Amino acid sequence: MPIDQKAWTDYAELAQRKRVLEHELREVRAQMNTTQEPLLDHLAEQGVRSIKLDDGSSVYIHRAVYVGAKDTDYDRACTAFADAGLGEFVLRRFNTNTVSAWYREATAEGSSIPRALEDVLDVNERITLRVRSS
């Protein structure tokens, strides 16, 4: 079934709009990051965790904690977890991005994946459209 020119143009316009919105989002995030520190300082000075705005919304302090291996020494950290009786935090995994890159390279060169991996890897290919601006 033929697709008219308008469908292609609409898709290209949506892709362009997406690029513009992503650029705008990066700018908004940068502005928020610049503004955030003095606002956090003000809340700390006032000894409060939130402030109510005239429109009824609230700006509040949110604490998020992220823990990783010191000096990215995962082997040492995994050993320490096991030694501390916390071995359930240690998972045996592989990096899917690295394996995907290996798979793309191997298949592009005409190689097949080792037979032992055929039954344990789920390979999904996603075909999408991209738009290159003129």
Each residue's pLDDT tens digit, 29-73:
999 999 999 999 999 999 999 999 999 999 999 999 999 999 999
50 membership: H or E segment, kind and range: strand 50-52
Domain span at 96: 67-123
Do residues 26 and 39 share a domain? yes
Each residue's pLDDT tens digit, 94-118:
999 999 999 999 999 999 889 899 8
Nearest of 64, 71, 68, 72 to residue 89 by alpha carbon = 68
Do residues 91 and 113 share a domain? yes
Q: Residue 50's beta-bridge partner residues?
A: 60
Q: How far apart are CA 13 and CA 30, in angstroms?
A: 26
Do residues 7 and 47 share a domain? yes
Q: How far apart are CA 103 and CA 13, in angstroms?
A: 33
Do residues 38 and 76 share a domain? no
Q: What's this model's pTM, rounded to 2 decimal places?
A: 0.66
61 in Cβ contact with 49 (< 8 Å) = yes
Do residues 8 and 32 share a domain? yes
